Amino acid sequence: MFDLNKLIRENIKTLRPYSSARDEFSGQAKVFLDANENALGSPLQKWYNRYPDPHQVKVKEALAPVKAVEPERIFLGNGSDECIDLLYRCFCNPGKDNIIICPPTYGMYEVSANINDVEIRRAPLLDDFQLDLVHLENLADENTKLIWICSPNNPTANAMHRQDVETVLNNFTGIVVVDEAYINFSRQKSLVQELNDYPNLVVLQTFSKAWGLAGLRLGMAFASEEIVEILNRVKPPYNISQATQELALKALEEVGQVNDMIKELVQMRVALKGVFEKLPFVQKVYPSDANFLLVKVEDAKSVYNFLLTKGIVVRDRSNVKLCDNCLRITVGTEDENTELVEALADYFFETKYIKS
């Protein structure tokens, strides 16, 4: 049975969190002399001289209806990367506990585990890039605190079978983190609506992809109120800047515009896949539920270097397990995609000429 109390690190359970000036007094007052801010202002036109809301109440209130989830079940991080790190710090005892990842997958789960000195166990994806449930089950023991599932997965682009994710949620007594950074581009539904059924579920999302706000650094974790409360104790008090909170609020008024961009990106992804598949040196374009395509070519290094000479950067994933000779290509603007396709056509003609 899932017992959150048994999962939390002892030092976190007994932690007395930092109490900020904004925590100790949050009512109405005329004069604020409690936080050592600069009351005269700042060199900027808009001052930003006051500390931001440590609990991001307004952002969470605006986000809650968009995600159909209570504000109490939302945690905001300085990018998803902060949420990832905090999950380790809250639940994994360095040098003792372990976590499971399903490679090939997002690199930060591993880097963050290494930073926190937490053992990494690996249940590689099957050949079809789906979860290996048997291997996962065999790896988990009483010190396994987190299982990381990225769906849709980076870099393979596919969503995991929902049934498989639910099987893990039902059978694992630790926390299952489902990273939905690319969920807006997917045919699959988000798991955020299932929080009631799964007390061990943490869903990660981000403003960096579909929302187009990678530069703001704003990530979301959705989980039970209890888990959110633990993350809140451990986070730096003012982890989301005033500027980020204001800009996120503005963006949240434009959900329609974001949905239009998602539609356009998905259409371009479908079109690009069709074009790639016609190129003779392309062996496979994997199905995508994300805003990028994983493309297997004859000689990934050579395609990658050729594109660089044209000023086009893609991600070379050919050293990654199961991604032999694969490039990860993000969907760009219409013009960028055209430039890419023309460069790939040039590559074909030039290499054919050299070979013959």
Ligand X SMILES: *Cc1c(COP(=O)(O)O)cnc(C)c1O
Q: Which residues contribute to the site for ligand X (CB under 6 A)?
A: 79-81, 106, 150, 154, 179, 181, 206, 208-209, 214, 219
Measured from the CB atom, the residue of 209 and 269 that comes closer to ligand X is 209
Q: Which position's Cβ is nearest ligand X?
A: 79
Work out the end-to-end distance of the chain between its first and last CA atoms, rounded to an integer number of angstroms: 65
The distance of closest approach from Cβ of residue 18 to ligand X in the complex, given in angstroms and rounded to an integer, is 23
The distance of closest approach from Cβ of residue 36 to ligand X in the complex, given in angstroms and rounded to an integer, is 30
The distance of closest approach from Cβ of residue 214 to ligand X in the complex, given in angstroms and rounded to an integer, is 6
Measured from the CB atom, the residue of 8 and 149 that comes closer to ligand X is 149
Measured from the CB atom, the residue of 150 and 223 that comes closer to ligand X is 150
Measured from the CB atom, the residue of 191 and 279 that comes closer to ligand X is 191
The distance of closest approach from Cβ of residue 186 to ligand X in the complex, given in angstroms and rounded to an integer, is 12
Measured from the CB atom, the residue of 150 and 307 that comes closer to ligand X is 150
Measured from the CB atom, the residue of 208 and 282 that comes closer to ligand X is 208
The distance of closest approach from Cβ of residue 80 to ligand X in the complex, given in angstroms and rounded to an integer, is 3
The distance of closest approach from Cβ of residue 156 to ligand X in the complex, given in angstroms and rounded to an integer, is 11
